[in-house]
């Protein structure tokens, strides 16, 4: 039984890794650059996918789904335009940087931060 569980975890890891590679390779997205942008611009409020300003609005998968934000386009829009207590980054980051960080956030929500 332990063997099957370990095998299941291995396949799950491989699947999630393949999602990351497909997202990054098929669209020209650089998740490493997204991680760096996140660290420099977002982590003060969103370390580990949390939210220090509005604790119930995390970047975790279920929360993003609950607030109709579990979508690259929605995350991109939020980063670009900001909303409520989140500032807009559209004037500070390039379109490419915003795409990279939005894909990084989406990917991390898939992986569970």
Fold of 30-111: Cytochrome Bc1 Complex; Chain D, domain 2 (1.10.760)
Q: Give the tens place of pLDDT for each residue, 13-70.
A: 777 666 655 555 456 899 999 999 999 999 999 999 999 999 999 999 999 999 999 9
Range 99-112 average pLDDT: 98
Pair 104, 42: CB distance under 8 Å? no
Range 90-97 average pLDDT: 98
Calculate the average pLDDT of the chain.
90
Per-residue model confidence (pLDDT) at position 43: 97
14: which 2 tokens?
């491989």
The region, left, alpha or beta by phi > 0 then psi within -120 to 50, assigned to residue 54 is beta
Per-residue model confidence (pLDDT) at position 33: 98
Q: If 0-12 CB within 10 Å is exposed, 13-18 middle and 19+ buried, where does residue 63 land?
A: middle
The answer, yes or no, to whether residue 88 has pLDDT greater than 70, is yes
Range 84-104 average pLDDT: 97
How far is the C-alpha of 95 from the C-alpha of 24, rounded, in Å?
A: 16
Q: Where exactly are the structural domains of the chain?
A: 30-111
pTM given for the model: 0.77
């Amino acid at each position: 039984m332990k063997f099957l569980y370990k095998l299941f975890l291995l396949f799950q890891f491989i699947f999630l890794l393949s999602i990351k590679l497909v997202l990054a390779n098929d669209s020209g997205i650089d998740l490493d650059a997204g991680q760096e942008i996140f660290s420099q611009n977002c982590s003060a409020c969103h370390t580990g996918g949390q939210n220090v300003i509005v604790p119930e609005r995390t970047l975790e998968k279920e929360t993003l789904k609950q607030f109709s934000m579990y979508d690259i386009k929605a995350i991109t829009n939020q980063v670009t335009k900001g909303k409520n207590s989140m500032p807009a980054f559209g004037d500070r980051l390039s379109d490419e940087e915003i795409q990279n960080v939005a894909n990084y956030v989406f990917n991390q929500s898939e992986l569970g931060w």
